[in-house]
Structures are given as C-alpha cells and as structure tokens.
A and B are shown apart, each in its own frame.
Chain A
Amino acid sequence: MRYEWKKLGRGILVLLLAAVVANAWLFYRHCTAPVDGARYTLLQVQEKMSWSVQALQEETERLEARISSADPLEILSDKSLLTGDVYDERRLNQAVLARKEFSYREHIKGVLSDAEFRISSGLFGEQTGFAVRSMERTKAIYAPLVNLPVQPVFCAGAETLTDWTLSDIFFLMFGFLPPLVLLTQERRNGLTSLLRPTKKGRGSLYLRKYAVAVSSVLAGFVLIYGGDLLISGMLFGGCDLSQPIQAVYGFDGCPIPLTILGYFLLFSLVKLLWGLTIATIIFSLCAMVSRISTVFLCVLGAGLLAVGMSLSANLWLRAFSLVSLADTPLLLRQCLFVDFFDHPVRQLPVSVCFCGTTTLICFAMGLFAFCRVPAVVSVAERQKLSFSFLHRHTSLFLHEGAKLWLSQGGLLLAAVFLTVQVISYQNYGKPNSAWDHYYQQYAQTLSGQPNSSKDAFLAAERAQFADIHSQIAQIYAAAGDDVGTAQLAAEKLQAKLNPEEAFEAAAAQYEALQAGQSFVYRSGYERLFGVFGRTEALLDTIKLLVFLVLTLSGLFAIEQERGMEIILTTSGARKKVRKRKLLHCGLITLLGFLLAVLPQLLAVIQNYGLPNMDALANSLPVFSAFPKGWAILGALILCGAIRLALSGLSSAVITFLSYRLGNKVLTTLTATVSLVIPHMILLLIQYSYTRI
C-alpha cells in the first residue's frame, strides 16, 4: 500500500493539504461570523450563557426601556454592550433567554400529547395506516425520554462542527482524488497492462488501491473534522461531554438517548460511512471508465440525481439520496420514518443500510471490472472513410481544432452543456401573480420619461383608490357592529383595490425618478440581476467552469503526455501551434460563455421582456450604482463583458495549468479545486442566504 500512496505524488498531496487549510479558514470564519440571520456571534452567546436568567431579564428590560424612549430610526450604539448595539444586544439576550428557559420535559410532553391528539382525532386515517403507526412509534420513542435529566448546556462543537456543510465538500476531495490518480491516470499512462499481469496484480492490487482510498477518506475525516474540532475547542473551549445531547440547543428532537460524546461518535460513524460510500462509488467508476471527462460527467450526473432525490417529497428517495445523507445532524436531530408497507421504519437505519449495501455492491463491481475487463481495450479499427477528407489538409488551425473539438471531446461536451442548459431553462417561470399583472399594466402607461399626463394619471388613480377607501369606510361605519354584512357589501369595492399594491410600487418608482431617468418595467431586470438571477448566474458559471475544465485540461497536456513536444520543437512550429491552441481556447471560452449566459437571458426576455434599453441605467434600482450617462444596454453589455473577461481568465488559468503540469488528470483536479469548488461554496452560501 505504501507504493500506492507514493503514486499519488506531491501534487495531489498539496491539493489535499490546500483543502484542509481552506476548510480550517472557512470554518474559523463560520465560528466567528454572526449566527444565521442575526447580528451576534456564537462567542457572544457563549458569554451570555454564563449569566443568570435574572441578570439577562434585567438587562433586557433596561435595553427595552432605552429603545422605547428613543427615536425609531435612531442608531443606539453602546460600547459597553457585547454587540455594541442596543437592538442587537436585546436580540442576543432574547435568544439566550430562550435557550436557558427551555424546558426539555415540557417539550417532550408536548410532542407526546400532540401525537396522542393526532391519533385520537382520527384525521390521519386508519389505525393500521402508516400515519397513525408512525405517530404511535413516535410516542414509543419519545416517552422514555421524558425523564431524561436535561439542563441546557452550551456546546459550540455540536452546534458549529456537525452543522457545517462546507467541510463535507472538502472531505469528499479525499475520496475523489486518489481513485482518479490510482486508476484513471494509471490507465491513461498505459501502466495497467504492466501491473495486472504481475503475481499480485489483480484482486490484490485492487484491494491495495482501495485501501489507499479508504485510508485517504479516514485521513480526510481526521484532518477536516479534527481541524474543525480543534478550532472549535480553541475558540469556545470544551463542554461537559457526559451531558445528554438533548441539552444542546437545536438537538431537543434527538430521539436517541445519547450523551454529547455518544453523539459525536455516532456522527463520526455515520459521516465516515457516507464518505466511504461516495469514495467507493467513485472508485468503482474509475475502475470501469478510462476517460476522466466521463468520470466527471458521471459524478455530476449522480450529484444532480442525488440533489433531485433530496428535494423529493418521497421519504424513500430522500433516505437514499447521498445529498440528504450529507446532512448527518438532521438524521440525528429528528425522528423521521419511511413507509415500509404501512410500517414506519426509522430513516437513520435505512440510510445506513443503504450506504453499507451501496458500498459493498460498488466495491464488488469495481473489483470485477478491474480483474475481468481487459486492461488493453481492443480498439475498433474504424475506417474513417466518411470523415477522412476532413483531415486531408495542411491547416494547422484545423488540425489543432480537430484535437480539441473531436479527439478530446470538446464538441461532445458542448452538446452536453447545451442540453443541460435547454433542460434547465425550458420551464422558466413567468410572472403570473396578480401583482405582476397589475404592475405590468401600470408600467405600460408610465413607461418612459415623466410628463404631466403621467402625473395626472397617477393623481387620478390615487384619487380613485382614496375614493374607494372612503366608500368602504362609510359602509363599515353604517353597518356598525354587523361586520359580516359590511364585508359582504364592501366585497365589490374591495376587489377594486386589488391593483393598489402594484400601483403604489409603480407610483413610488415613478416618483423616485430624477432628471433624465425613465420609468422602466423592472421585473425582467430584477429577475436577471436580483437574488434569484444571481444564483442562477452562479449555477451557470459553475456549469461553464466544469465545461472549460473538462475541455481545456488536455490543451497543452496532451503533447507532454504523448511526447509530441519533441516533434513540435524539431519542426519549428511550436509557437505557431501554441498560437492556434490559444485561438481555439478563445473559441471554446466564447462558446461556453454564450451557452452559459444566453439561455438565462433569452428566458428572461421571452417571459418578462427587457424593455427601454436606451433609458438611463440608473433608472432601475438594480443599476442604481451606475453613473449618469450609462444606458441600460450599456450596463447589460458591461455586465456581459465582465463575465466574459472572467470566463477568459478562468480559461487562462486552466490553460496555464495544462501547460505547466503537463498532465490532464492533474490539471483537471487542480482546476476543479481552484475554480469549481470555490464557486460551489459561493453557491451554497448564496443558497443559505436565499433561504434566510
């Protein structure tokens, strides 16, 4: 096994080390950054947890008194407070009080009585049905926990470490990289045919390689989660591990009577099994497939499938989704059941069994492929009669194109990218709410620069709404206490007020216009550059980067891998070849950019429209930062140009790596780690903000 480790080489070890460092840095930021959606940190929560309930209540009362006596828009900063802000300090105190005053016993009693009510209400079907049985099972599981001695404790390790999903991505790198080098790269270098005929060259060699993959997963687990634990310990200190895990904030729903130490051990086992399952799937894939781009596409496809399964309402699909299983704390925090012929079965054991079975099956499939599938793939002697005329030329540009687009699969990857984009954007959401409908109507009238007729229109509309409001008020006044009659009488008038909210939005937009600015229907622009649009753009960027990595990794590496550098030099055409390669690289980048950007743009234009492109860009809130003189079209072109330049920069990085490393597998891995994974992390962060 020692030799297999050595084969990984320094480059892979550096990549893995970089993953450990990046994870540690991000985890440190996670620990010291404000808690989701709030403006206080966990360190401040820890500090306040040492206060008594009485002290917290007294301070909260003092803070509320200050707030009530101050102007609502006044900023109340106070350096003596932990957060430095009165409002934030009050929120912090309330959060800590909620933690300290939490009664586990009452909570469990509530769960049990709720289950009892649901069973007895008869609303959940027959007594032998899944719903009722699962509630009975819930009762049976939680009933023994009522008497658990739970006193709220602060355990930052459990709160931050086990809930930090980005560590999972870095952890996966330890399962992903070794198989690619030990199987895919070895096959590319033609070493399989050398190694497999040796005495220990089949099953035993596979086992040794697999042992490296397993030990890499173990090492990754220790380095990634151990690093997290170390940082957490250094920042927050330890906690009493003998306390029940239910005493930790957020774990009150844990259905298993575990100590905090027991929780950590169970978490480790489940997480390790999860990592091992994914590593084994990738390992067996690498044993079966020789092309690195095929491995990547299969992994991406499997990843998308797992994401789809995790979003499904079907609990079986969720139980079998490796993306759902990545959220190990969730499996331990809640009591979820899957329907097994009307019998509730706990999701955790189902998922664990699934992981174990998948690992065994994939291991066996990989072993079979490695031992039985011929190392030297018989090459079909394809007579390229139909296309051979394409190669009978002396255009270096076309030859380099053939290498990149045909031999290295650039054209195929572009077709896959196009297909993915078409599927992604074929059912793009239209503006179908009543608000959108009314806003669109007002926008048609108000479109363009302000003028007196539009002012008059707004005044007339406003007066009309005011009139309706006064009529409704009169009806209610006349009805007295008979509210029901008043509602009935005012129903028609109330319906006339439906456009009012959209009108107010349109009027506010119109009235905020400054000299030279125009009213522009903004829904399309907001869809394109708002939170959802930015998330979509980031997702498209990730697709683009994967496309560029898979297409361009071999751009210069192929010559070095095949020794063709020597012939290029002796023919004196090295510079010419380099120029043409870079030209094709530019074309690939441009194509990728168009495939990444156009579908979203076209979908927005088709469903929302992007009108008034000649208007000033700062007429729109999304372009408010643009200086005067910039038209919307100019702003759109600038945004596109920046994205194109960044795509070009990414291509330049991949091309440089391909040139310097001279190895397609290593280039693919390095480029993925340095370009794709940071964007995936950004996407995860953006998703979490969107959720908030």
Chain B
Amino acid sequence: MELQIQNLKKEYGTKQALKGVSATLTEGIYGLLGPNGAGKSTMMNILTGNLRQSAGDVLLDGTDIRTLDSAYFARLGYMPQQQTYYPTFTVEQFLYYIGSLRGMKRQKVKKRIDWALELLSLSDVRKKQLRALSGGMRQRILLAQAILADPDILILDEPTAGLDPEQRIAVRNLIAEIALHKIVLISTHVVSDVELIARELLLLSDGRLLCQSAPKELMAQLSNCVWEVCVPEHEIRKLHHLGQISGIAKAEDGAVVRLLAKEKPPYSCTEARPTLEDVYLYHFGRQEGL
C-alpha cells in the first residue's frame, strides 16, 4: 500500500498555503510536524477530502483518490482536531451512527465498538450522552470512531490533545499497536508523541516540505549542535546571540542552559544528546519567534 502526494499545491486567493508538497507514505506511522500556518491542516484536509487542492495529485496505489472517491474513503479513518460530536447522542449511539455512515454491518459494528471501547477504556461510559463526558473522554471517542472500521489509512490530527500523561501514553501505544499494517499520519505539536513510534517525520514549513526522514536521522543531523552550558544567571540573555535556547535549569552556581548552536559556545559546556524537540526548535524555532 502506498500513498503518494505529488506536487500538492493549495491557494487561498493570493496566499499559497501549500507550495508543491511531495511525499510518499507506505505502511507505518508518520509524524507531520510544523509551526502554526505551515500548511498541516490544509494538507490533512486535502488528504481527507474536506478540501480540493489547487494543483497536484494524491494517489493511492497509483490511482488518484478523486477517482477512487468512496473506495478511498472506505479505507480512510480520520480523527479531527476539533471535538465534533452530537451532544445528545450516547457514546454507543454515536459509534453505531459512524458504523452506519461507513456502511458496516450491525454485527461487525457491535464487535468493533466493544473492541474500541475496551481498548480506549470507555466501556463504562458507553450509555452516557456525549455532552456529559469530559474533554479527554470525547477525544478518545473521536479516536474510537476513526479506528472503528479498521481503516488502512489513518489520519490523526492532534490525537493526544487534552489527555492526561497516562492516557497519552496509552493512546500512543494503541496507535503503534494498530498501525502495523496501516498508513498512519499524525499531525501534532507534541513531538514526544511521535518520537518513539514514528517511522518518519515530515517537516512542513511555509507550505513546503523541508524534509522526510526517520527521527533518528533527524536527530543525528544535530550531533555537535546541542550543548549544555553552565552560566551565571545574568549571562543567560547573552546566549541568545550564540544560538537557540531549548531549556534552562537552575544549577548551584547559576544555570544550565540547553543551547542549539553550530559552534561550541565560549563557556564551560558539554555536548548533549539531541532530542526531537531540539530538531523541532532547530527547524522552526525562529519562525515561532523563539
């Protein structure tokens, strides 16, 4: 299974949201990273059929998804970022409704609902109205509806937003578990969510794809660029001129500053192991005003 994005462009009047994005996704988890306004939502909306591209193609196994139409949607699961639901529906009713939207048989839906609710620890609330649930529960229900039909392609927009750390880990593991034979594209700002599970990351900036690489490769690119600098507190501001500060911790004789810089800073410092947050900051920090 292969999802090819070819020279995808999208224009809103004179503004170009996507300026020719090309990528190839095969089975596995992909993280889509980028600052606000980079074009992530536009790209996801095109992939989910909620928006038409101005130019370019999206091909599933060589066939344009516009040609495939319902055959494509039958293989697609989508979890939107905004909490979309019918407030008066019960959890069970909502999932049965999604099953009917996907044209599933009643018995299959029943089995899948039991499975999804069990997996997401929602069995206790299956008969509660959606408006009576907490934000975190609704978030998990949206994930449940996305995986209900066992889709081949799963597109998740900020799937862990609003979840507590325990739920976040559980959801992350769940995604990793169900994604073995699927294409999973996760858009997120929480880089730790994809750090451990993503096969590749797509870094999107200003409507362009900066790179598509494995997290380890991206982190390797930053070797000799991440430093932990020990400085007195009044010297911290001077470090801004040397590179990007990704963290500050208090130390006995001042502060330990984590600094991204191509050259070794002229202070007492040690080289640190790059993380995916460093990668994010390295590529997008300036754009986000950091």
Contact = CB atoms under 8 A, between A and B. Distances in A.
A567 B80 contact: yes
- Chain B CB count within 10 A is highest, among A381, A392, A394, A399, for A394
Contacts of A383: 127-128
Interface residues of A, number: 34
A522 B29 CA distance: 79
B48 A381 contact: no
A394 B99 contact: yes
Contact of B104 (A394, A407, A558): A394
A-B pairs, top 10 by smallest CB distance, nearest first, are A572-B73, A563-B84, A391-B93, A570-B78, A573-B101, A394-B100, A571-B101, A379-B132, A407-B88, A396-B100
Interface residues of B, number: 43
Contact of A568 (B82, B90, B101): B101
Given A394-B96, A394-B104, A577-B101, A562 B90 contact: no
Nearest to B94: A391
A567 B96 contact: no
A393 B106 contact: yes
Interface string B59-84: 00000000001101110111010111
B100 A395 contact: yes
B97 interface: yes
Contacts of B110: 392
Contacts of B89: 391, 407
A388 interface: yes
Interface in A349-406: 379-385, 388, 391-396, 399, 402-403, 406
Interface of A: 379-385, 388, 391-396, 399, 402-403, 406-407, 558, 562-573, 576-577
Contacts of B99: 394
A563 B80 contact: yes
Contacts of A577: 101
Contacts of A385: 127
Given A379-B132, A573-B102, 11 more contacts: A383-B127, A384-B127, A396-B100, A558-B86, A562-B84, A563-B82, A565-B50, A566-B50, A566-B82, A569-B48, A577-B101
Contacts of A395: 100
Contact of A403 (B86, B96, B102, B129): B86
A677 B70 CA distance: 43
Interface string B114-158: 000000000000011101100000000000010000000001000
Given A394-B105, A399-B97, A572-B73, A567 B90 contact: no
A381 B84 contact: no
B78 A393 contact: no
Given A562-B87, A570-B76, A572-B69, A391 B92 contact: yes
A566 B48 contact: yes
A611 B80 CA distance: 63
A391 B87 contact: no
Contacts of A568: 101
A568 B155 CA distance: 15
A569 B106 contact: no
Given A393-B106, A394-B96, A394-B104, A571 B73 contact: yes
Contacts of A564: 84-86
B69 A562 contact: no
Contacts of B76: 570, 572
B191 to A, nearest CB: 25
Contact of B128 (A381, A394, A570, A572): A381
Nearest to B70: A572
Given A396-B101, A564-B85, A564-B86, A391 B96 contact: yes
Contacts of A380: 132
Contacts of B127: 383-385, 388
Contacts of B48: 566, 569-570
A569 B101 contact: no
A321 B100 CA distance: 52
A392 B50 contact: no
Contacts of B129: 379, 381-382
B126 to A, nearest CB: 9
B50 A569 contact: yes
Given A407-B89, A562-B87, A566-B48, A571 B131 contact: no
B49 interface: yes
Contacts of A384: 90, 127
A157 B127 CA distance: 65
